[in-house]
A and B are shown apart, each in its own frame.
Chain A
Amino acid sequence: AQSVTQPDIHITVSEGASLELRCNYSYGATPYLFWYVQSPGQGLQLLLKYFSGDTLVQGIKGFEAEFKRSQSSFNLRKPSVHWSDAAEYFCAVVGTSGTYKYIFGTGTRLKVLA
């Protein structure tokens, strides 16, 4: 069965520090991969997505993610975190055949220290 694992429930970083949020997936083939961000009480905003091609994808707000097929991972990175990045981040996959149902990870809550 498809699954998505975000091993870190909470992460705290200082403003200006680099950030990496982990995401591992389980799927028989290469799925389509997404990262979303959610501010408190709001909907989810798409940060970036990977469908095919270059394994390093750039997103909005200075985020990037790297797809590593050998590790079944799609980690999100940012070189310098801003206080406004404090939010919850969700990794998601959708299969490329079958039911096309989105599977979301449990989320990683990011806290940024001033």
Chain B
Amino acid sequence: KAGVTQTPRYLIKTRGQQVTLSCSPISGHRSVSWYQQTPGQGLQFLFEYFSETQRNKGNFPGRFSGRQFSNSRSEMNVSTLELGDSALYLCASNGGTTDTQYFGPGTRLTVL
């Protein structure tokens, strides 16, 4: 089975712009979670989608949003980018509830 894929791998944006990141889960997995990783804050949970519905949400402002499509692919969007949004954004998929999460390689976002 192919692993979790994330596109793009690297992205450079300027403050105020918006960005969309994409994640394709492992075939058959219906749950996709997103995490933000920074040196200062570590790994922080953004949200989880399961069967096109947001099931869990972390403590991030409304500028961060996501969605999941019927084929389980997910996108996350960040509007009005701030310098502090520079981070590695990781996507993880699993088959359901307490199943194992498998991570993609991440998207490195740099905000200038």
User: Which residues of A pack against B, CB within 8 Å?
Assistant: 32, 34, 36, 41-46, 49, 51, 90, 92, 94-96, 99-104, 106-107
Contact = CB atoms under 8 A, between A and B. Distances in A.
B25 interface: no
Nearest to B105: A43
Contacts of B105: 42-43
Contacts, number: 50
B11 interface: no
A45 B33 contact: no
A101 B104 CA distance: 18
Given A43-B90, A43-B104, A102 B42 contact: no
A90 B42 CA distance: 10
Interface of B is mostly: strand
Interface stretch (B12-20, B62-70, B73-81, B93-101): B93-101
Given A100-B98, A101-B45, A101-B48, A43 B33 contact: no
B43 A100 contact: no
Interface residues of B, number: 22
Interface SS of chain A: helix, strand, loop or mixed? strand
Interface of B: 4, 33, 35, 42-43, 45, 48, 55-56, 88, 90, 92, 97-98, 100-106, 108
Contact of A101 (B56, B102, B106, B108): B56
B93 to A, nearest CB: 11
Contacts of A99: 55-56
Contacts of B88: 41
A102 B100 contact: no
Given A42-B106, A43-B104, A43-B105, A104 B42 contact: yes
Contact of B98 (A45, A96, A103, A106): A96
